[in-house]
Structure 1
Amino acid sequence: MTIHPMIPTGESSVSTTSGFTVYPAIDVRDGAVVRLLKGDYDQETRYTDNPVAVAENYARSGAAWLHLVDLDAARSGGYTLLDMLGRIAENTGLMIQTGGGVRTAEDVERLLEAGASRVVVGSIAVQEPDTVVGWLERFGPERITVALDTRIGPDGTWVLPTAGWTSVGGEDLITTLHRYNGSGLKHVLCTDIGRDGTLSGPNFHLYTMLTRSSPTLEVQASGGARSVDDVRAARRTGCAGIILGKALLEGRLTVADAVQEELA
C-alpha cells in the first residue's frame, strides 16, 4: 500500500446543466479514500481518511455529481457506506451515483432512501441481467447505472470481471450489453480496467465503439483520465460523462477546469 498526500483540487462556483457530466470519484476502502492500480486490491494508494471532506471540496469546486464506490462491498457484497452517503448528500447537495455490493432490490431502495440519486450495479448486471431489467422497470432508468467493467481477454474480446474484478463473467461486453436492448437502460458506466489508476489516458477506441453501437445509451468513460484534454476527447467520442479519480486526487487536474468542459 502506498500512502499519498492529497493535493487540493481548486475551488470555483461553476455549476452545469449540460448533457455532458464530470463525475469526481471517491473510492472508499476501510473508511479511507484510495485508488487501486488496474483493480488490484494489493496495489492500493491511500490518500485521506476523510472522504466526506473530499466530497465537500469537490462540491465547492463546482461539481454537480459525485461517483462514490464501496470497494470493500464490491468484492464481498453488502454496501457499507450508508451513513457516509447520507452525510455527503446532506452536507454538499451533490447528486450521488454510488454502488459496490448491490445485490438486491432492497439494497437499491436503501441507497436511494439514504440519499443516492443513482445506484450503480455491476456484478449482478453481468450475472443476472433479467434481475436488473426488473429494477429498471421498478425504479426507473434515471435511478440505475449499469457498470460494465472490462478488460481484453486472451481471445481479444472484452471480458467482464465481477466481484471487485476478482472473477470473470460468462459473456463478453457487447453480448451482455445487447441483453439490455429494449429494457429502457439509459446510463452505462464502462471502465477499462487496464487503464484504471494508470493516468495513461482513457481508451477512446472502446468508447467510440460503444457510443456508435448503442447510440441511445449515455456512456460514462472511466479509467486512465489525466487531463482536461481527456475530458474534452471523451465528449468528442459521444460519451455523456467521464469519471475522474486519481488525476484529481494528485492535483494533475482540477474539478473547476474539468467542469468548464461541461459548458464548452
Structure 2
Amino acid sequence: MIIPSLDFYQGKIVRLYQGNYGLKKIYEKDYYTYIQNCIQNKIKNFHIVDLDGVQNSYNKQNFLLKKILKIKNINFQVGGGIRKKQDIEKLFSLGAKKVVIGSAIFEKKNEVKKWIKEYGIDSIILALDVVVKNNFIEVKISGWKKNTGKDIHDVLYDFCLTGVRHVLCTDITKDGTLNGPNISLYKNLVKKYPFINFQSSGGISSLQDIQDLKRIGIKDIIIGKALLENKFTITEAVKCWQKELFPA
C-alpha cells in the first residue's frame, strides 16, 4: 500500500538530503490538513519520523507526536530514537500502531528480539538503512552516521527466527534525491525473503516508480518528498497502486 511520510525537526516538516541535517528543506505545510487529505483518499497508514529523536533519543518531540497521534481513522507508524522499552510504551500510549526500530537492532539486539515477541510481529518494524557497495549492502545506524560493518542479509537471517514480518529498507544514497528507488535492491530482498513485508523508502519521484516497485513484490511504499513537492498527488498515487493490484 501507499504510506505517506512526514519528517519533523524542531516542530517543522522537513526533508533531508541523504540524511544530511545540513541539507534540510523546510515545508510550510499544515500537518493536520495534509494527513486529513490522505484519509480522504483512503490512506490507511502513515509514517512519522521524529528527527530530533534521531539526533538525541532523550530529546523527542513528544509534544508534537501527542497531537498527531490523536488524529482518527488512520494508523501511524513512528520512528526516531527508539532505544528502550519505555520509548515503545510511550508511543503506544500516545496512539501509535507500530514503532520503527533502527539503531537498537545493533545496540540492543536481544532486547529487540524480546520486543518483537512481546508486542507482536505486526507492532514492530525493523528499519535497515543501507549503502550498497558492489555485493555488500552495509547497514548504517545513528542517523546514518555510523557504520555497522554488517551486511543486510546477516541481520535479516538473524532476525528471521523471531518471525519478524515488517522491514523498512532505505537506500541512503537515494533518500531525498527524487532520483528513483533502488529497484534491484528491493527485487533481491523480496526474492530472498518472501515471508517479510518490505517497505521501500527513498528516491520515489514518479508514478512509474510506484508501478515498478509493485511489480517486483514490494508490499508498502513510503513516499515523502515526491508528495510534498507535488510530483504527483496522493489521489494519483493511490489510483496507480490500485491499478497495479487490479490491472485491466
Query: Could you say which TM-score interval applies, normalised by the shorter chain?
Result: over 0.9
Instruction: Provide the C-alpha distance between the structure 1 equivalents of 2:241 and 2:54, rounded to a whole number of angstroms.
Output: 29
RMSD over aligned CA atoms reads: 1.6
SS for the counterpart of 2:217 is coil
Task: Tell me the equivalent position of 2:18.
Answer: 38
Q: Where do residues 60-139 of structure 1 align in structure 2 (5 Å cutoff)?
A: 60-78=40-58, 80-139=60-119
Bigger RCO of structures 1 and 2 (CA < 8 A, at least 6 apart): 1
Q: Which runs of 5+ in 2 are unaligned?
A: 244-248
- In 2, Cα distance between the equivalents of 1:259 and 1:86? 27
SS at match of 1:116: coil
CA distance in 2, matches of 1:125, 1:254: 34
Equivalent in the alignment of 1:197: 176
Aligned to 2:138: 159
Q: Kindly indicate whether the alpha-carbon contact (under 8 Å) linking 1:55 and 1:88 is maintained by their aligned counterparts in 2.
A: no
Give unmatched runs, 5+ long, in structure 1: 1-20
Displacement, 1:61?
3.4
User: Partners of 1:81 and 1:138 in 2: how far apart?
Assistant: 25
Q: Is the 8 A contact 1:78 1:102 kept in 2?
A: no
* 8 Å Cα contact 2:11/2:64 also seen in 1: no
Distance change (3 Å), C-alpha of 1:127 and 1:176: farther
**Alpha-carbon distance in 2 for matches of 1:173, 1:79:** 29
User: In 2, are the aligned partners of 1:67 and 1:243 still within 8 Å (CA)?
Assistant: yes
Partner of 1:147: 127
How far did residue 144 of structure 1 move? 0.4
Deviation at 1:96, TM superposition (A): 0.3
More moved, 56-65 vs 106-115 = 56-65
1:181 aligned partner? 160
Change (3 A) 1:94 1:49: same
CA contact (8 A) 2:53 2:61 kept: no
Q: Deviations over 1:225-248 (max 9, x none)?
A: 011111111111111110101100
C-alpha separation between the residues in 1 aligned to 2:33 and 2:8? 13
* 2:34 aligned partner: 54
Match of residue 246 from structure 2 = none
Deviations 1:163-200 (A, max 9, x none): 11111123121111111021010000000000001111
Q: Is the 8 A contact 2:70 2:94 kept in 1?
A: no
| Cα distance in 1 between the residues matched to 2:117 and 2:71 | 31
Pairwise CA distance, 1:41? 0.9
Write out the 4+ residue segments of structure 1 that deviate beyond 4 Å after TM superposition.
none
Shift of 1:158: 1.2
CA separation in 2, counterparts of 1:231 and 1:43?
A: 26
Aligned residue identity for 1:232:
Q
- The aligned counterpart of 1:27 is 7
* 1:246 counterpart = 2:225: yes
Deviations 1:112-139 (A, max 9, x none): 1111110000111133322211001100
Q: Identity over the aligned pairs, expressed in percent?
A: 33
Q: Distance in 2 between matches of 1:78 and 1:26?
A: 21
TM-score, normalization by structure 1: 0.87
The alignment partner of 2:116 has SS state of helix
Distance 1:79 1:100, change over 3 A: farther
Indicate the residue corresponding to 1:172 in structure 2: 151
